[in-house]
Structure 1
Amino acid sequence: MRAYIFVAGLIMAGCISSSTLGQSSHSNPWAPVDVGPLPPIASLTDGVWLKGDLHLHSRHSHDSSNNSEAKIIAFSESVGMDYLCITDHDNHVQGDVAHNTWSDPEFKSKSLLLLYGAEWTTVRGHGNAFSATPYDHQRLYDVRDQRDVVVGAVKRELGIHLSANHPSGKDHFGYSYDMVDSIEVWNSAVWPKNANAIMIWDDMLSSGRKLTGRGGSDSHHGTPDTPEQATKNTYQRQANYVGTPTTWVFAKERTLQAVVDALTNGRVAVSANPYAPRVEFYADLDGDGKMDMMMGDNTKATGKPIKFRIQLTGNTVAGASYTVRVVKNGDPFSTLQATGGKEAMVEFTDTPASLGRTYYRIEVEGPPTAYPQVPGSMALSGNMVGLSNPIYFNFDPKF
């Protein structure tokens, strides 16, 4: 029969039955849903940790001084970097990066993996493009003032990794985060200025985006060769240069493509400098004492407790206390204390919700690690040692 319902003076007509009366005919679009099959977790042992810097400027950027590609590369080799991406401003060469930065005779190294990239510099913010092979950056430059859907289509056609640079402040990233693969959460040696970038990262993660957090020194100036240069450029290598901060990737192999893949997949940690300890974050899903997943990995929650492990690998101060902060879904979850030494490690247990997204990430503070080649950086980074990317549960694999 046809029933009429009078609600607050409105007449609603429809074919209903007594069994559906008072019930919504629409499902809640915000209710947790099963994400379906997820890709298998990759090996935790079949890979290699590689360290590098993903945001650097050479003489091909007009606002850079005394910083040739040869100087950047030689310094990077001297501090043991594994990979590098020189990201000159594309608007300084009208988008023609390939015939400037990449074609420079100094763009070569016997030990470093040199990624192809540039800083996409627009009125709506800046981003870095990373690629294992040369690509047509001019196409990305030419659509910088177009709608996000146009930019995103070109990015996909080029097959590049696009990353949002220094997302807050003067040159905040004003494009959709749906079209980027990572976000610069630690820009330069000045750690405190990144608070807003961390907040934006947590916002993006909480919205369901599986977005890698990375670092970048954003260094523009090389070693001053004369006292005059040292006086003119106060923000020099003594305070901020290659590796402040350093981005670590757990790559399947020592190749350019493996670096980009690891960056995209979120198997990434960031440390204050190349000598600072690396924050490694793992989870034991079945309680057998063996770690089954690491930062960047995504799996279904079972409703059972999971043991998490945070390990500081590298140079820690023996006997010193390191503060390990666990962030869950954007909020402080737990604060732990790790003791520096050969086995600097702490563990905690929690039960991710069986339905709905959950993520955990780590931040570590402690004694600054000396970086003799860039001594001023220690004061700028303060006690910040490093951070991890999240471990994810029930995230949509499309993001």
Structure 2
Amino acid sequence: MNGLLFRVLLGLCLLNVGCDAEQVPSDAGADGAISDDGGLGPDAAPHDAGPIDAGPPPEPEPDTELGDASEERWVFMQSHLHTTGFHTCADEPTMPTGPEADCYTSEGITAFLAEALERDARDMIITDHNNIDAWFDPAFAPLADAAMSRYATPLRGTEWSSRDGHMTLLFPTEVVSDNMAAITNGWVFAAGNLVPVSGASDYQMTIDSVHAAGGLAIINHPELLIHAFPEDSLDADGVEVGIPPNPLDDVGGGAVSAHSAAEARRFWQRRLTSGQRLTGTAGADHHHGGGDIPGLESPTFGLAVNLIRVDPELPDTEDVAAALADPDTTIDQRTAIVIDAVRRGHVMIVEDEDAARVFVGADVDGDGRFHDARAGDCVRDAGDEMRVRVRIDNPSSSFGSSHYNLEVWTDADDADPEWFVEVDYDDGFPVDSRYELDESDPFAITITLPVFPAERRFVRFVLVRDVLGPINDTEVVTNPIYYGDWAEECAGAAPLF
């Protein structure tokens, strides 16, 4: 059969106008290539595949409250976890030497999983500096509690570490067999943690390569004084905005504070106002066992943790014995859940498992339900305005303060919230012309926002305690709802309903 006839038949099949499998020639490969006559080869120009099957329609929008546990599943995940506190492998990833040359510790893996079980977390992204050796240790497997009622899972990551920026890279499966292959692929910065990058292309090539492998790239501590990231997302998927104080931010001699977290959130705000969609995440940056830099054994939990919303359609082994019996499948499943949540922006950063929650949803079609878009989602057709519901769940007093401040961040300012309101721990929201109160729930309000289809706009929320003193005064950070003309930036965004 000649190449022209094959292309005609293939085009008819793709356009669903009818053809049997027998009509496709047996000498065509999986990519449509015919090796004997120069027909469709692997280097041929792409053809128009015709209409794309969009699959089944989305689930009907539920008539439930935002955060309803019967309708939504949220789980804790922690990121940016080092199984060792020493930096020999970070600095010399190709030839670590000396008494602290181990690039990871088996004990660190197990300790993180045990702590996850204590704090009700499901997933722990292991991110040793410039190294993936931990992936291949027998301890890198799901760990169950004593009652075999639940388990925690390590996820395959690394922290790409240069003298400049750092990134958490998360991979969907065991994509390479050893650390040298990771170095070859650029997933480890071979020059090491003491060498600056040659330019933004070093980050970009790594991010592109990780995406090609189906993984994620998250910018770590973007404003850390000696490890800052460029003023661009460079197509990364997320950025750490819930992070602990870092002693490396104290090089000027000032008091260690939440400076790095506050600056990280300002970095994020600048990316958003410049029109870059970027998921905000938490990262512990915990170095197990202390190590060679005092102060880096920051708390794994207690300052900021990721609360992610799970897509119920994704595979997830609930049976604990089955999950432990097939660790590779379990790790891959849990990784797919985390990657999906971060890509969609379905991440809420909360202080700890007992902290308040802030659930956000938009009513675009005017039906009085607020699941048309949730935090992280993109609104494409909203008419002239949309209504956004904000609901605080599990409010509780702390540090002697009488109220929270709920900050409303929009595209109007790249450094400060557009406005904020005091929310009493006991009485909830006060009367205010900027929103509608919910008569049945004192901790819920509805805001009406104008929509300008040709502009890139967003709204997000931060809940802080109005009190001086604690290292961390931030209770909750939500991801934005994006609306207007975000175009290709919204690729991959999809509400669950």
| Structure 2 residue 380 is matched with structure 1 residue 297 | no
Q: Structure 2 residue aligned with 1:334, among 387, 402, 419?
A: 419
SS at structure 1 position matched to 2:336: helix
SS at structure 1 position matched to 2:138: coil
| Structure 2 residue 470 is matched with structure 1 residue 379 | yes
Choose 81-90 or 169-178, whichever is displaced more: 169-178
Q: Distance in 2 between matches of 1:65 and 1:102?
A: 11
Q: Structure 2 residue aligned with 1:180, among 232, 236, 246?
A: 236
Q: Is the 8 A contact 1:44 1:293 kept in 2?
A: no
Q: Distance in 2 between matches of 1:58 and 1:361?
A: 34
Q: Is the 8 A contact 1:337 1:346 kept in 2?
A: no
Q: Structure 2 residue aligned with 1:77, among 99, 111, 117?
A: 117
Q: Deviations over 1:14-38 (max 9, x none)?
A: xxxxxxxxxxxxxxxxxxxxxxxx9
- Partner of residue 219, structure 2: 164
Q: 1:153 to 1:387 in 2, by over 3 A?
A: closer
Q: Distance in 1 between matches of 2:302 and 2:230?
A: 27
Q: Structure 2 residue aligned with 1:129, among 166, 169, 180?
A: 169
Displacement after TM superposition at 1:294 (Å): 0.5
- Partner of residue 386, structure 2: 306
Amino acid at match of 1:290: R
TM-score, length-scaled by structure 2? 0.60
| Structure 2 residue 136 is matched with structure 1 residue 103 | yes
Q: Is the 8 A contact 1:51 1:249 kept in 2?
A: yes
Q: Is the 8 A contact 1:116 1:130 kept in 2?
A: yes
Q: 1:278 to 1:67 in 2, by over 3 A?
A: farther
Q: 1:304 to 1:157 in 2, by over 3 A?
A: closer
Q: Structure 2 residue aligned with 1:140, among 182, 186, 191?
A: 186
What is the identity percentage for the equivalent residue pairs of Structure 1 and Structure 2?
23
TM-score, length-scaled by structure 1? 0.74
SS at structure 2 position matched to 1:73: helix
Choose 54-63 or 109-118, whichever is displaced more: 54-63
Q: 1:244 to 1:56 in 2, by over 3 A?
A: farther
SS at structure 2 position matched to 1:140: coil
| Structure 2 residue 445 is matched with structure 1 residue 346 | yes
Q: 1:316 to 1:335 in 2, by over 3 A?
A: same
Displacement after TM superposition at 1:277 (Å): 1.6
SS at structure 2 position matched to 1:217: coil
Q: Distance in 2 between matches of 1:397 and 1:159?
A: 22
Q: 1:179 to 1:41 in 2, by over 3 A?
A: farther
Q: Is the 8 A contact 2:135 2:156 kept in 1?
A: yes
SS at structure 1 position matched to 2:111: helix
Equivalenced residue count is 336
Q: Is the 8 A contact 1:88 1:118 kept in 2?
A: yes
Q: Distance in 2 between matches of 1:299 and 1:121?
A: 36
Q: Structure 1 residue aligned with 2:206, among 151, 154, 169?
A: 151
Displacement after TM superposition at 1:122 (Å): 1.5
Q: Give the root-mean-square deviation of aligned CA atoms.
A: 3.3
Displacement after TM superposition at 1:167 (Å): 0.7
Q: Structure 1 residue aligned with 2:464, among 354, 360, 365?
A: 365
Q: Deviations over 1:29-50 (max 9, x none)?
A: xxxxxxxxx9998887664211
- Partner of residue 339, structure 2: 260
Q: Is the 8 A contact 1:203 1:330 kept in 2?
A: no
Q: Deviations over 1:252-299 (max 9, x none)?
A: 035321221111111111011222122221112233321121111101
Matches within 5 A, 1:319-330: 321-329=403-411
Q: Is the 8 A contact 2:389 2:445 kept in 1?
A: yes
Q: Is the 8 A contact 1:59 1:69 kept in 2?
A: no
Displacement after TM superposition at 1:389 (Å): 0.4
Q: Is the 8 A contact 2:164 2:226 kept in 1?
A: no
Q: 1:176 to 1:326 in 2, by over 3 A?
A: closer
Displacement after TM superposition at 1:343 (Å): 6.1
Amino acid at match of 2:345: G
SS at structure 2 position matched to 1:310: strand
- Partner of residue 30, structure 1: none
Amino acid at match of 2:446: E
Unaligned stretches of 5+ residues in structure 2: 1-53, 63-70, 89-103, 145-150, 177-181, 191-196, 246-256, 317-333, 427-440, 490-497
Task: List 4+ stretches of structure 1 deviating above 4 A.
Answer: 38-47, 63-67, 142-146, 232-237
Amino acid at match of 1:328: T
Q: Deviations over 1:47-93 (max 9, x none)?
A: 42111211111127548999722112111111111211111101xxx
Displacement after TM superposition at 1:213 (Å): 0.7
Q: Which one has the bigger strand percentage?
A: 1
Q: Deviations over 1:295-322 (max 9, x none)?
A: 1110125443322122223353499532
Q: 1:297 to 1:59 in 2, by over 3 A?
A: same
Displacement after TM superposition at 1:345 (Å): 2.5
Which structure is higher in RCO with an 8 Å CA cutoff and minimum separation 6? Answer: 1
Amino acid at match of 1:295: A
Amino acid at match of 2:81: L
SS at structure 1 position matched to 2:113: helix
